[in-house]
């Protein structure tokens, strides 16, 4: 296969620039679903005198964009230099972005000196290197430290940043003696979604510290037949996914507890927006938290007051009822507790009482996807995001920021579109991220030959620049075999385009 490819080179700010002074040979191109352009490997033979110049060029080549054009002049692969190797005999030197980290935080578990001697993981603030950020873009790293003292976590963060803020030449040994050469490993832009983390602290509201005052529910019509707790957020709009209530059963009630989300009406609960209930046997006999999930989460707005209204599903009973917990020192300033006195809502504490409760907010999958791929998150190098797919459903509003944006994005797209179709996500040759439905099996456009080659049904070989990864192919031998979804496609100058198994990294 003697296809002639051309390569366009750019500076890190996307300004076109001259190619390197050595003739580079394209060894391999790889495309994947999900992702699109995934890998390109180029090499150039060097004479001994050029090796030092090549090393200097390699040190400056990292994160430079390049675009590969097909013989027809169509952009078919788009990515950046991720690793540069200089081979000299049986030794070499490598510059690798995989080790780069110019924004670092540490996740650790601080010591706790009180029972039960456990603590939730804590994350330090980010420390960053401005020079490296400006040169390479934002590449974050979370250090997972386990149990650690806060001061030692900060020291570990600082030390890691100092070591990894700028690429360093690392020596390595080769299995066989090799002529002087330069080898470039380039990655597609989809991989850079994993350079950043999305942390959203908002999305949880409430009063979680254990309150000390019991508050009965469901005993008497004139005091506790109905209880309510208001709340308000400074973020939104959001979907209310669930509400939590700290409570216990008293004796053996046989009904359950009902939680309703209500709009505000002149400072008291108004129109019901959603509801959820749990039977008594699903509620704790001793004090604990109960989670009430809303099958159809209501959409709530920032800056407006809403209410959680609590009742029992059966008749009032002065022996078998429920116990909630409250505090009277205004522990949740954005809301208050009220009770129904038989004829009106009452607040005997001047707005200082609050129940032990929480809410969990959610947002649409579409909104979360746009947050994950925004320039300030994972999409710092993308030129655009296009969502022709209809993405139903909601996801939790908070994000603990412990997983890269790319990993979160793939999880988010694990559910189908509104029509039940699996989703495809790729970065195209224009560096735009496209989320769309995968084609249906009966729309297979390609035939898969026994040697892995791809052709049209009419026999024309697949061309560089045509979408292959994420398409369906039928076996050329026919029969009743289902089409195969092409997850990984490789081009080499010897074999041209071939479909390979998705896990076959040696082929790509």
pLDDT tens per residue, range 486-504: 999 999 999 999 999 987 5
pLDDT tens digit string along 271-308? 999 999 999 999 999 999 999 999 999 999 999 999 99
pLDDT at position 505 = 44
pLDDT at position 148 = 87
Cβ proximity of 297 and 243 under 8 Å: no
SS (H, E, C) 196-255: CEEEECCCEEEECCCCCEEEEECCCCCCCCCEEEEECCCCCCEEEEEEEEEEEEECCCCC
With bands split at pLDDT 50, 70 and 90, how would you rate the model's confidence at 507? very low
In whole numbers, what is the pLDDT of the chain averaged over residues?
Answer: 94
pLDDT at position 118 = 62
Angle 145-146-148 from CA coordinates, rounded to 5°: 80
Q: Within a 10 A sphere around the Cβ of 464, how many other Cβ atoms? A: 21
- Residue 113 pLDDT more than 70? no
pLDDT tens digit string along 50-63? 888 888 899 899 99
Q: Identify the three-state secondary structure at position 189.
A: helix
Lowest mean pLDDT among 40-49, 79-88, 296-305, 420-429: 40-49
Q: Within a 10 A sphere around the Cβ of 185, how many other Cβ atoms? A: 20
208-229 b/e (C-beta count within 10 Å ≥ 16 → b): eeebeeebbbbbeeeebbbbbb
- Residue 132 pLDDT more than 90? yes
pLDDT tens digit string along 342-399? 999 999 899 999 999 999 999 999 999 999 999 999 999 999 999 988 999 999 999 9
pLDDT tens digit string along 411-449? 999 999 999 999 999 999 999 999 999 999 999 999 999
pLDDT tens digit string along 213-256? 999 999 999 999 999 999 999 999 999 999 999 999 999 999 99
């Amino acid at each position: 296969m003697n296809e002639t490819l051309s390569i366009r080179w750019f500076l890190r700010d996307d300004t076109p620039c001259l190619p390197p002074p050595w003739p580079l040979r394209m060894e391999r191109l790889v495309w994947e679903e999900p992702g699109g352009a995934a890998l390109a490997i180029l090499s150039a033979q060097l004479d001994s005198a050029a090796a030092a110049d090549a090393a200097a060029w390699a040190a400056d080549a990292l994160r430079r964009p390049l675009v590969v054009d097909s013989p027809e002049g169509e952009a078919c692969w788009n990515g950046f230099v991720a690793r540069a190797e200089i081979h000299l005999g049986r030794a070499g030197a490598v510059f690798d972005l995989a080790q780069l980290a110019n924004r670092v935080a540490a996740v650790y578990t601080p010591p706790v000196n009180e029972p039960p001697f456990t603590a939730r993981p804590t994350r330090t603030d980010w420390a960053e290197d401005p020079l490296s950020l400006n040169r390479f873009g934002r590449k974050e790293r979370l250090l997972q430290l386990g149990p650690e003292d806060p001061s030692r976590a900060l020291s570990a963060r600082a030390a890691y940043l100092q070591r990894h803020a700028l690429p360093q030449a690392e020596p390595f040994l080769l299995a066989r003696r090799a002529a002087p050469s330069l080898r470039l490993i380039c990655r597609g832009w989809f991989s850079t979604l994993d350079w950043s983390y999305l942390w959203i602290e908002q999305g949880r509201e409430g009063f979680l510290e254990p309150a000390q005052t019991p508050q009965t529910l469901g005993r008497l019509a004139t005091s506790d037949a109905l209880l309510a707790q208001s709340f308000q957020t400074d973020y939104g709009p959001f979907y209310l996914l669930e509400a939590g209530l700290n409570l216990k059963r008293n004796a053996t009630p046989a009904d359950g507890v009902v939680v309703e989300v209500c709009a505000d009406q002149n400072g008291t609960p108004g129109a019901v927006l959603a509801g959820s209930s749990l039977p008594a046997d699903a509620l704790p006999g001793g004090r604990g938290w109960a989670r009430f999930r809303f099958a159809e989460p209501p959409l709530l707005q920032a800056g407006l007051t809403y209410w959680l209204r609590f009742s029992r599903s059966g008749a009032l009973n002065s022996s078998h009822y429920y116990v909630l917990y409250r505090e009277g020192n205004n522990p949740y300033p954005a809301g208050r507790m009220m009770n129904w006195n038989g004829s009106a809502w009452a607040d005997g504490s001047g707005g200082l009482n609050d129940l032990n409760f929480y809410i969990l907010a959610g947002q649409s999958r579409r909104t979360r996807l746009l947050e994950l791929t925004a320039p300030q998150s994972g999409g710092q190098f993308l030129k655009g995001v296009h969502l022709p797919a209809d993405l139903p459903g909601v996801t939790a509003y908070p994000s603990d920021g412990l997983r890269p944006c790319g990993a979160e994005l793939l999880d988010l797209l694990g559910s189908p579109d509104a029509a039940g179709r699996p989703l495809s996500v790729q970065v195209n040759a224009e560096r735009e991220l496209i989320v769309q439905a995968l084609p249906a099996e009966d729309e297979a456009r390609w035939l898969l030959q026994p040697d892995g080659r791809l052709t049209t049904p009419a026999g024309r070989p697949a061309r560089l620049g045509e979408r292959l990864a994420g398409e369906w192919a039928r076996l050329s031998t026919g029969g009743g075999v289902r089409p195969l979804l092409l997850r990984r496609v490789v081009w080499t100058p010897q074999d041209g385009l071939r479909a390979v198994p998705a896990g076959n990294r040696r082929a790509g």
